[in-house]
Amino acid sequence: MAGAARDAPRQRPEPPVIVAAILLVIVSVVWSWLLVRVANDLVRRDDVTLAGRSARFAGAVCVPFVGVAVYLVGNRAGIAARDAARCRPADAPIVVPVRWVTGGEAAWTVSRARRRLEDGTISRAEFDAIRAEVRS
């Protein structure tokens, strides 16, 4: 009997089961991404109290697809406005990364003072005073 079980051919899963499993994984990944999107937007909202944010997130989690869809459709204008406000314009200067790469606050202060000196908004004496203050 034991030998007969070993000799029996393995049963492969039916193709519809494999397709259903793949669809389930895809739907789960999409829903998880949308849930993270909703949570990210709820964190950035300043027009809703913490209790309101919690209730909306609980609704999105407890009623999986309907909750997420209702939130995204109902708040699409606000989500777009918050996304636009969060994005840095392409022509805005990159200030903070350059500030950290160049050596921190002291180098940043001297660099800013040098630009102001070149623009003529401060005198050479004021520039020297700023540089001496930074060095001390």
Instruction: Show the beta-strand stretches assigned E in the chain.
Output: none
**Predicted local confidence at residue 1, as pLDDT:** 52
123: left (phi over 0), alpha (psi -120 to 50) or beta: beta
Rounded Cα distance between 41 and 60, Å, is: 12
Rounded Cα distance between 25 and 27, Å, is: 6
Closest residue by Cα to residue 30 from 95, 42, 22: 22
Reading the chain (136 residues) residue by residue, the pLDDT tens digits are 555 556 667 777 677 888 889 999 999 999 889 889 888 888 888 888 889 888 888 888 888 788 888 888 888 888 888 888 777 666 666 555 554 555 567 777 888 899 999 988 999 999 999 888 887 7
Q: Are 35 and 61 in contact (CB under 8 A)?
A: yes
- Contacts (Cβ under 8 Å, ≥6 apart) of 114: 127
Rounded Cα distance between 8 and 87, Å, is: 61
- Three-state DSSP class for 78? helix
> Residue holding tokens 């840095």?
88
What is the phi/psi pair of residue 92, to 5°? Answer: -70, 140
